[in-house]
């Protein structure tokens, strides 16, 4: 069985930003040579998230607005006494920081409109890490 | 090690609908013969989701109302200029499209009230795919 | 390949409560001896959840308030005719009941501020189960 991991680092530029990492994901799976198994993607941060959806410019703005509506900044959070990013922690905790995909006959299984979006919630940051890991044969 | 995948196709009939696929999941795991390992379920769509919870008729309606409240249709979304289903993309991206279960001693580990619900968010659709995959021994 | 599972039982004391189980998770992974692979954590309950985020006392209260705001109790839910915990089912179904981590070179990969929080949504309960499972080499 093959178990292969890779970490990539990404600099973010905006407070809330969506960075499409589908190409990096696909490339990693191809290079692993795994024909059948799983691919796990994990972001080891408490103020970022992973969203799997369509990378359409209007929809990306809709996601940004929806996140800001569900998790507004500076809404009297207790954690803001320490830092000013409680909204980002809440969004990260509820949206989640990992995704997992089947790999079947050498192909990562995802829908046409399922792009993997690294979701920065408290940027800019010089280095956000994403861990890719395949396990299979 | 065994790695076995199966895709099922489901037709949906309503705009927002919950289809219980627990029996299909349990049957797949039993037939795989895997005694210990994991079972991954993935929906390769950007306007559908997977929810694991109780299949009680009142609660299903509560889920429908809650999703419609958190992600209302036609709320001035930019993506609606292209299509009319931005709310479904937002709900899919935030709720998520995969679930993973441990398999221990031949049994899929899930709670009594944890039924697997394919969640249609932009139906009706003639074919929604669900991929089941086991990996284990 | 190693596939090892363990179930722990936790008593909860409040209606909504966050119990940090990071130490149990880390201990399980260390004792498994797995150097590379995955660790799955699953809660087999329909009125509990798992959240991965910072265990800071103010933020924990912020999470409690946010969950109560998004999923208020007794808001005219149909399921409340049977039980009084529809809000807890809705929160569990949308937040989710499992987390999965890569294990790389003997270390569970998680961020400094990513603590694993068993999220009781309908306590107190005498026994909430958490299943840990590692798979790898």
- pLDDT tens digits, residue range C16-26? 999 999 999 99
Tell me what pLDDT residue A96 has: 98
Kindly list the residues from chain A whose CB atom is less than 8 angstroms away from the CB atom of residue B100: 100
pLDDT score of B117: 99
Q: How far apart are CA A64 and CA A77, in angstroms?
A: 20
Is the CB of A44 less than 8 angstroms away from the CB of C99? Answer: no
CA distance A77 to chain C (A): 6
Averaged pLDDT of chain C: 98
The predicted model gives C48-62 an average pLDDT of 98
Q: How confident is the model at residue C102 (pLDDT cuts 50, 70, 90)?
A: very high
CA C118 from centre of chain: 3
Regarding beta strands A107-108 and A37-42, do their DSSP bridges make them parallel or antiparallel, or are they unpaired? unpaired
Residue C60: which of A82, A114, B78, A96 has the closest Cα?
A82
Find the helix or strand (DSSP H, E) in which B20 lies: strand B17-20
Contact residues, chain B, for A51 at CB < 8 Å? 93-94
B56/C79 CB distance under 8 A: yes
Whole-angstrom Cα distance, residue B17 to residue B96? 16
pLDDT per residue as tens digits for the range A64-93: 999 999 999 999 999 999 999 999 999 999
pLDDT range class, residue C89, cuts 50, 70, 90: very high
How close, in Å, is residue B126 to chain A by CA atoms?
16
Q: What pLDDT shows up at residue B61? A: 98
Quote the pLDDT of residue A19: 98
Q: Which residue has the tokens 């980002």?
A: A88
How close does chain C come to B72, measured CA to CA in Å?
A: 14
Domains and CATH numbers, chain B: 2-136 (2.60.120.460)
Q: Considering only CB atoms, which chain B residues are within 8 Å of A70?
A: 70
List residues in chain B touching C: CB distance below 8 A: 1, 36-38, 51-54, 56-59, 61-63, 66, 70, 94-96, 99-102, 104, 109-111, 113-114, 117, 135-137
Cβ C131–B102 below 8 Å, yes or no? yes
Q: How confident is the model at residue C80 (pLDDT cuts 50, 70, 90)?
A: very high
How is the beta sheet containing B98-104 ordered, strand by strand? Answer: B2-10, B128-136, B37-42, B98-104, B107-108
- Per-residue pLDDT band at C5 (split at 50, 70, 90): very high
CA distances to A74, A79, C51, C70 from C87, in Å: 25, 24, 17, 9
Min Cα–Cα distance to chain B from C118, Å:
15
The percentage of residues in chain C with a pLDDT greater than 70, rounded to a whole number, is 100
Q: Are C81 and C112 in contact (CB under 8 A)?
A: no
Please provide the DSSP assignment of chain A as one string: -EEEEEEEEE---SSSEEEE-HHHHHHHHHHHT-SSEEEEEE---SSEEEEEE---HHHHHHHHHHHHHHS-TTSS-GGGGT-S-HHHHHHHHHH-SEEEEEEETTEE---TT-EEEEEESS---S-EEEEEEEEE-
Please state the rounded mean pLDDT for residues C87-115.
Answer: 98
Mean model confidence pLDDT for chain B: 98
Distances (CA, A) of C55 to A85, A113, B24, B51, C24: 14, 35, 38, 26, 15
Residue ranges of chain B with per-residue pLDDT less than 70: none
Q: Do C102 and A131 touch (CB under 8 A)?
A: yes
Q: What is the pLDDT of residues B76-97, one digit of tens each?
A: 999 999 999 999 999 999 999 9
* Interface touch B93/A137, C-beta < 8 Å: no
Over residues B37-48, the pLDDT tens digits come to 999 999 999 999
Of C54, C58, C111, the CB nearest to A44: C111
Per-residue pLDDT, C6: 98
């Amino acid at each position: 069985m093959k178990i292969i991991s890779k970490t990539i680092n990404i600099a973010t530029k905006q407070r809330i930003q969506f960075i499409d990492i589908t190409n990096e994901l696909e490339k990693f799976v191809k290079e692993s040579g795994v024909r059948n198994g799983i691919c796990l993607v994990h972001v080891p941060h408490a103020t970022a998230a992973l969203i799997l959806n369509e990378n359409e410019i209007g929809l990306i703005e809709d996601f940004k607005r929806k996140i800001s509506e569900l998790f507004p900044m500076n809404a009297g959070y207790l954690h803001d006494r320490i830092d000013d990013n409680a909204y980002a922690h809440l969004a990260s905790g509820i949206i989640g920081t990992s995704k997992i995909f089947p790999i079947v006959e050498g192909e990562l299984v995802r829908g046409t409109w399922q792009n993997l979006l690294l979701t920065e919630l408290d940027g800019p940051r010089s280095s956000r890490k994403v861990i890719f890991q395949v396990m299979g044969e």
